[in-house]
Amino acid sequence: MISDINVKTKGDVHQQMQMAIDREKRQFFFKHRLASGLIRDVEVFSGPIEIDGRKLLYSIVHDITARRYAEDALQRMNETLEHQVVERTRLAEKRAAHLQTLAVELIRAEERERQRIAQLLHDDLQQILAATKLQVEGLCEQIPEEPILKQVNQWIIEAVDKTRTLSHDQKLSQ
């Protein structure tokens, strides 16, 4: 009798058999106990048939224990992979946030350096060049026939203009 190997109660087995007879359900999953005492997972396809006027219930039973183990292993692997994806996504997001913080810090450092250079050009170099220009112009008045002084004065004027432009450009890029 099927209830001898099915681990469900006789009432549960009878109820499942009635569902198969009434064609309400054709596929069932059970646990069967072998003569050795081992429990195996089985898939059962059942339905009513009539032979020589007798109504019978046929069943085709497949041992799916190995398939269940494989499905369970696959489920565990999927859960492990999903956990790894979550962890790696969290790590990637953390690294992206850190990179964004570093990028902001780099931009701020660049802005500070531009400001420092602009200040240096304006406060120091331009003042030195202006004082040098005044001194050279004084020399040009004292020694008007010296052409090199006029050339040096022209270079100083160009240097003042270039430092003024650089200083202005540094302030604009901030």
Taking the C-alpha atoms of residue 119 and residue 164, their distance in angstroms, rounded to an integer, is: 11
Q: Each residue of 20-52: pLDDT tens digit?
A: 999 999 999 999 999 999 999 999 999 999 999
142: pLDDT strictly greater than 80: yes
User: What's the pLDDT at 7?
Assistant: 86
Q: Which amino acid is at 87?
A: E
Q: How confident is the model at residue 173 (pLDDT cuts 50, 70, 90)?
A: low
User: What's the pLDDT at 33?
Assistant: 92
Contacts (Cβ under 8 Å, ≥6 apart) of 60: 44, 45, 46
Reduced 3-state DSSP string for the chain: CHHHCECCCHHHHHHHHHHHHCCCCCEEEEEEECCCCCEEEEEEEEEEEEECCEEEEEEEEEECHHHHHHHHHHHHHHHHHHHHHHHHHHHHHHHHHHHHHHHHHHHHHHHHHHHHHHHHHHHHHHHHHHHHHHHHHHHHHHCCCCHHHHHHHHHHHHHHHHHHHHHHHHHHCC
- List the one residue out of 150, 111, 116, 156 whose CA is nearest residue 132: 156
Mean pLDDT of all residues in 123-150 = 87
147: pLDDT strictly greater than 80: yes
Q: How confident is the model at residue 172 (pLDDT cuts 50, 70, 90)?
A: low
Structure tokens at 78: 């999927």
User: What's the pLDDT at 171?
Assistant: 65
CB 59 within 8 A of CB 44: yes
In Å, how far are 15, 115, 155 from 118, measured between CA atoms?
Answer: 91, 5, 21
Q: Each residue of 110-120: pLDDT tens digit?
A: 989 988 888 88
User: What's the pLDDT at 65?
Assistant: 96
